[in-house]
Amino acid sequence: TQAHIDAMEAHRGLNAFITETPDRALEQADAADVAIKSGDAGAMAGVPIGMKDLFCTEGVLTTAASHILDGFTPPYESTVSANLKKAGAVTLGKTNLDEFAMGSSNETSYYGPVKNPWKKQGDDADMVPGGSSGGSAAAVAGRLAIAATGTDTGGSIRQPAAFTGIVGLKPTYGRCSRYGIVAFASSLDQAGPMTRTVRDAAIMLGAMAGFDPKDSTSANVPVPDFEAALTGDIRGKTVGIPAEYRPDGLNAEVQAVWDKGVQMLKDAGATVVDISLPHTKYALPTYYIVAPAEASSNLARYDGVRFGLRVTDGVRSLDDMYMKTRGEGFGKEVRRRVLIGTYALSAGYYDAYYLKAQKVRTLIAQDFKKAFETCDVILTPTAPSAAFPVGAEVDDPITMYLNDVFTVPTSLAGLPGLSVPVDLDKDGLPMGLQLIGRPFDEETVLQVGDVME
């Protein structure tokens, strides 16, 4: 723990943490030490981790990387962070993220962008770590933490994992409790582990997961021993390759890494088959209706009365206070989402946008269901490119949204998705591949991913 605290302090330039809690970490490490010595240590005993600053942590500032939550210290703990604590994990601090987890580069944070520990060979420009769990990804990749929590609504665990050369798992929707996680899009949000290895992800998921009566969408299913699934033997498994994830103009290096992944799985004795997910091309527009719609509703609670920031300067009425607080408290991307979502949900447009998107979402889920009749797991790229330079896409929301093209279908269908690092591109930047599984079959996804490391 002390070594990781030292690393966290030595690499503040990455901006991976919003709040550091070294004193608490050392206390937790001492407690873990006692537990280990007395023989009742949990699976995460003494493991120093980063906690995405979207998880409410009792007595520790929780910002969601937003100005509007200024000074908010939750009076309670999220279930996932409580579970990890119970398993003995040591929390080093709260990691940076895109504001309210909206973004793919960690550049929308009120606390400034996170830098990817990786750079292009022979080039000193700072690269983004991906987003929204960019601080968690940078902390793990930069060796400031052994592991970190992430949340994934449309790719926010998997894409930053790919950009920083680590492992990231978005579990099945309902596997981990959402209780105490600042809500973005409630029908999509899911917590998961970000780690150096697939084995670490299996262990950490076991500690995070489980039924929680405090979250009405938490699934009452048993938590298997995920680590036991890592047999190293995937003979007899069938891997599906979806034709629709190979659009014209797919980056040649992404294609090459994908081909390499296919070969690895064939060499390990898996059968590789072509599959079709015909509604893939509608996933991105569907996501960018559903997610902002839910966000606009969830973010209505930040009114300047109940949490954080309240702007009173020159305020003439209650409505004026609401408007000024929200105008100043939310950043540009968050305001954009609230506007899009409010529009999509408004009386005259609900049927045309929100209802239509919900119907397409069902078709996307049915595509996967059908595909899983002929394969056990699906292999795709995680992202359409490797990490890009800080500042390159931040002013162009459409380009930024395109980062999520391979991750949002999984999210809309509620399926588990794992990103594993597979290769470096010609510039020496990490590239990842995504494995998608059947609902609540994280075991197969982890088993296959383990072979690809």
**Of 81, 104, 105, 132, which residue is the catalytic one?**
132
- Write down the least CB distance from residue 94 to ligand GLN, Å: 16
Q: How many whole angstroms separate alpha carbon 404 and alpha carbon 301?
A: 27
- Write down the least CB distance from residue 328 to ligand GLN, Å: 22
- Write down the least CB distance from residue 391 to ligand GLN, Å: 17
Residue 294 touching ligand GLN (CB under 6 A) = no
Q: Catalytic site residue 132?
A: yes
Scan residues 183-202 and list those touching ligand GLN (CB under 6 A). Answer: 184
Q: Catalytic site residue 104?
A: no
149-168 footprint of ligand GLN as x/- string (CB under 6 A): ---xxxxx------------
In the list 15, 21, 79, 104, the residue contacting ligand GLN (rule: CB under 6 A) is: 104
- Write down the least CB distance from residue 190 to ligand GLN, Å: 9
Residue 417 touching ligand GLN (CB under 6 A) = no
Scan residues 44-83 and list those touching ligand GLN (CB under 6 A). Answer: none
Using the contact rule CB under 6 A, the part of the chain among 29-37, 99-107, 273-281, 345-353 near ligand GLN is 99-107
Residue 28 touching ligand GLN (CB under 6 A) = no
- Write down the least CB distance from residue 403 to ligand GLN, Å: 6
125-154 footprint of ligand GLN as x/- string (CB under 6 A): -------x-------------------xxx
Residue 95 touching ligand GLN (CB under 6 A) = no
Residue 103 touching ligand GLN (CB under 6 A) = yes
Q: Catalytic site residue 52?
A: yes
Closest residue by beta carbon to ligand GLN: 156
Residues identified as active-site: 52, 132, 156
Q: Applying CB under 6 A, which residues contact ligand GLN?
A: 101-104, 132, 152-156, 184, 291, 404
